[in-house]
């Protein structure tokens, strides 16, 4: 196995937190929409998913993962796709595979202070 392909194989430890997620008990369609999901339904699903995330014991880990890796799709850590896009575009943080591996398990540096400035009154 080459060094490059070793980097692309997630370890059990890297993903272990996901099995503790509150989303495990809910339909995945609430967290990830398809192309043909009507806009209104998508927004309702996102609101419900964000609400579920609010009671999740691994919310911060999930959020840090999503921000650190630039997850583009779905609700992660109580943040919608658009919310993460706004946060990341503002931070202008480009990440590499090395960054992802180094940051795995760490708190994303901009994750701590985003609620007050970025999420007030916004769910999209």
Among 58, 87, 88, 114, which residue sits at the site for ligand SF4 (rule: CB under 6 A)? Answer: 58
Identify the residue among 30, 45, 46, 59 touching ligand SF4 (CB under 6 A): 59
Binding flag, residue 30, ligand SF4 (CB under 6 A) = no
53 annotated as belonging to a binding site for a ligand: yes
Kindly state the DSSP code that residue 108 receives in the 8-state scheme: P
| Cα–Cα dist 62/15, whole Å | 10
CB nearer ligand SF4, residue 10 or residue 94: 10
CA 101, CA 122: separation in Å to the nearest integer? Answer: 31
- To ligand SF4, the closest distance from the beta carbon of 112 in angstroms equals 16
**Residues 60-99 interacting with ligand SF4 (rule: CB under 6 A):** 62, 75-78
Write the burial class of residue 68 (CB in 10 Å: 0-12 exposed, 13-18 middle, 19+ buried). buried
């Amino acid at each position: 196995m080459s060094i490059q392909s070793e980097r692309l194989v997630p370890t059990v430890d890297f993903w272990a937190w996901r099995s503790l997620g509150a989303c495990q008990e809910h339909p995945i369609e609430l967290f990830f929409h398809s192309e043909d999901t009507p806009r209104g339904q998508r927004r309702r699903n996102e609101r419900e998913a964000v609400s579920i995330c609010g009671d999740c014991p691994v919310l911060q880990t999930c959020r840090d993962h999503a921000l650190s890796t630039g997850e583009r799709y779905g609700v992660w850590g109580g943040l919608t796709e658009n919310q993460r896009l706004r946060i990341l575009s503002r931070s202008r943080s480009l990440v590499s595979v090395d960054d992802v591996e180094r940051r795995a398990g760490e708190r994303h540096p901009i994750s701590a202070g985003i609620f007050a400035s970025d999420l007030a009154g916004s769910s999209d």
